[in-house]
Amino acid sequence: MTGIRAQEPPPAGSPQSLWQGISEGVRFTFSHPILRPFYLLVSTMNFFNFIYSALGVLYMVRVLHLPPVLIGIPAVLAGLGAIIGSLAAAPLARRAGSGRTMVAGEVMFTGGFLAVPLAFGPRLTATAIIGAGFVIVGIGLMLLDANATTMLQALIPGHLMGRATAANDQLNWGVRPLGALAGGLLGQWLGLHAALWIGTLGALGAALCLVATRVRRYRFGDSPGSPGST
């Protein structure tokens, strides 16, 4: 760091307050035909996914009676799936398009969690079912994240990158504790199994809605970083 000698250009214009910057990022995002549905549906997915996150391990312990060592196996397999997904993300995007790969990844990521409420049988059988689902979760997460990062960098102008990212993170991360709270309440009122179905199906439904948006048709370089792009 101390060896860097590049001269930083002076900031353009008058400095903005934090909330002015976030407001500008929100306006840009919600006027963009691709970013708007992407962030709304991903945030919806994360809300429902955190219903699952609040209850998944508890369900494995109390209902499926899995010991800690078996609960850890699906997490290991999710990591294996993530390696596969990270290696496949770029080739699939070149062949099928970034948007289709991203949507497929989100459907796989959310759909893989269905293995938990679907698991049945002896402990090893239930672990195998959940483990298979978590491989799909890992693959899907990397297909989604790798292509989403590329898309956001391409569509958001450089001078708005920080502001738009901050605004979108407020939405995307802000719903997660709400989803976890909803998961706890639903688990208390309806039981763990019913609450898990609500969380997993809600997340999958949000992912499937992306199929009907312009996100699916996005290819890297097709759309300039402007709200009115087509």
Which amino acid type is present at position 43? S
- Length, in residues, of the chain: 230
Would you state the structure tokens that stand for residue 167, as one six-digit string? 């605004």
pLDDT at residue 13 greater than cutoff 60: no
Q: Which of 43-57, 85-99, 136-150, 208-222 has the lowest mean pLDDT?
A: 208-222
In terms of Cβ atoms closer than 10 Å to its own Cβ (0-12, 13-18, 19+), residue 21 is: middle
Domains, the chain, with CATH or none: 33-212 (1.20.1250.20)
**What's the pLDDT tens digit per position in 160-178?**
887 788 778 888 889 999 9
In terms of Cβ atoms closer than 10 Å to its own Cβ (0-12, 13-18, 19+), residue 23 is: middle
**How far apart (Å, rounded) are the C-alpha atoms in residues 212 and 73?**
35
**How far apart (Å, rounded) are the C-alpha atoms in residues 102 and 117?**
25
Residue that the structure tokens 């709400």 belong to: 178
The residue among 97, 43, 88 whose CA lies nearest residue 215 is 97
**What's the pLDDT tens digit per position in 84-122?**
999 999 999 999 999 999 999 999 999 999 999 999 999
Backbone angles phi, psi at 87, to 5 degrees: -75, -30
